């Protein structure tokens, strides 16, 4: 590890239960720099939800992906661990790489889902998943400020019908990645680590434009 570098931790979660009370069954993260270089990755299935809440998993939005998870677990591509172990491993990576910012796309959801899972599994003994004082950055905010102001993006969204009901461009990670990569047939896998690897590209793309942008989840403006 080069201590002269500034590292980010990009994180993504997949959840079961409901959008109001999401519980994390899959978490992936990557240690990256602002250029999109990857220094470490982790992929975890949360044993306490994935295996011990089988009925809940069958109701998850991506329940049809369960066979894919079983295959990756068998191959050792995804680790199975208790929630506390996942949290401890993430904290160790944050400490080792001197992480100041955790980054996610639509970070409000990931922050909420990890916090709710933390409270649910610990009976509210430990309320927050992330370390105190860590900044949470949102590539959704960054993309709106940088990519959203590009006339070419708005035109491209109009041509491809990637528009909200009010006519404004959509900013899902999948659509943004199609735009910045030129891979117009790309389909987001919606598993933790695979989604992280496209979200870090959005982060890097926004940095390359050298434009003013909001980054922090709780930043006003």
Q: CA 27 from chain center: how many Å? A: 8
Residue 31 banded pLDDT, cuts 50, 70, 90: very high
Give dist(CA 59, CA 159) in Å, integer: 35
What is d(CA 106, CA 184) in angstroms, rounded to the nearest whole number? 22
Residue 41 within a domain: yes
The answer as to whether 2 is a domain residue is no
3-state secondary structure of 41: strand
Count how many residues are written for the chain: 221
The domain that holds 39 is classified in CATH as: 3.30.420.10
| pLDDT tens per residue, range 154-188 | 999 999 999 999 999 999 999 999 999 999 999 99
Alpha-helical segments (H) within 32-172: 47-50, 54-58, 66-75, 83-96, 107-121, 139-146, 151-160
* pLDDT at 141 > cutoff 80: yes
In a domain, residue 165? The reply is yes
- The average pLDDT across 110-125 equals 92
Residue 221 within a domain: no
Give this prediction's pTM: 0.94
Up-side HSE of residue 106: CA atoms within 13 Å toward CB? 12
Domains held by the chain: number: 1
CA distance 138 to 152: 22
In a domain, 139, yes or no: yes
Contacts of residue 118, Cβ cutoff 8 Å, sequence gap at least 6: 83, 87, 126, 127, 128, 129
Position 172 scores a pLDDT of: 97
What digits encode the pLDDT tens for the residues 37-82? 999 999 999 999 999 988 888 877 778 889 999 999 999 999 999 9
220 within domain boundaries: no
Its domain, for residue 166, covers 8-208
In a domain, 215, yes or no: no
| Confidence (pLDDT) at 67 | 93
In a domain, 34, yes or no: yes
3-state secondary structure of 28: strand
The answer to whether the CB of 141 falls within 8 A of the CB of 219 is yes
């Amino acid at each position: 590890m080069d201590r002269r570098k500034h590292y980010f931790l990009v994180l993504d979660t997949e959840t079961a239960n409901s959008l109001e009370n999401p519980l994390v069954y899959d978490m992936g993260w990557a240690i990256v720099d602002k250029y999109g270089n990857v220094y470490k990755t982790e992929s975890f299935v949360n044993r306490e939800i994935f295996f011990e809440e089988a009925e809940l998993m069958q109701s998850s939005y991506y329940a049809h992906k369960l066979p894919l998870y079983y295959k990756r677990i068998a191959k050792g591509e995804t680790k199975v661990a208790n929630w506390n172990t996942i949290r401890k491993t993430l904290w160790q990576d944050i400490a080792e790489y001197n992480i100041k910012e955790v980054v996610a796309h639509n970070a409000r959801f990931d922050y909420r889902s990890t916090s709710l899972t933390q409270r649910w599994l610990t009976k509210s003994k430990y309320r927050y998943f992330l370390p105190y004082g860590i900044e949470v950055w949102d590539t959704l905010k960054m993309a709106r400020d940088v990519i959203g102001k590009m006339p070419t993006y708005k035109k491209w969204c109009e041509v491809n019908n990637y528009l909200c009901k009010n006519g404004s461009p959509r900013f899902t990670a999948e659509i943004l990645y199609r735009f910045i990569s030129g891979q117009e047939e790309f389909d987001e896998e919606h598993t933790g680590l695979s989604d992280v690897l496209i979200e870090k590209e959005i982060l890097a793309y926004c940095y390359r434009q050298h434009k003013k942008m909001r980054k922090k989840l709780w930043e006003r403006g």
